[in-house]
């Protein structure tokens, strides 16, 4: 998923060219942490919903909520 944007801007007779390539942008520590947290929440939510010792004692909506939050974090 690579998006390339070229912009030509003229400011007081000086022409500048800006190129942005999304494939070259390195992920930040915060972004990596957010995605990993989302993945962990999804895993815990699935665990709470599908594994018998957990799904008998923990409400189903708790697992659904964790999965929903995890998907939102992972999508960032």
Nearest alpha-carbon partner for 64 in 38, 37, 45, 36: 45
What pLDDT is recorded for position 2? 45
Nearest alpha-carbon partner for 65 in 51, 50, 46: 46
What pLDDT is recorded for position 17? 55
What pLDDT is recorded for position 76? 59
Nearest alpha-carbon partner for 2 in 19, 24, 17: 24
Average confidence (pLDDT) per 10 residues, the chain, 76 residues: 47 54 76 95 94 87 95 87
Backbone φ and ψ for 33, nearest 5 degrees, come out as -60, -40
């Amino acid at each position: 998923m690579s998006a390339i944007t070229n912009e030509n801007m003229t400011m007081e007779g000086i022409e500048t060219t800006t190129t942005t390539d999304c494939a070259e942008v390195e992920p930040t520590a915060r972004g990596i942490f957010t995605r990993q947290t989302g993945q962990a929440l999804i895993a815990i939510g699935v665990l709470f919903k599908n594994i018998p010792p957990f799904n008998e004692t923990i409400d189903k909506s708790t697992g659904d909520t964790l999965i929903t939050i995890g998907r939102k974090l992972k999508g960032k």
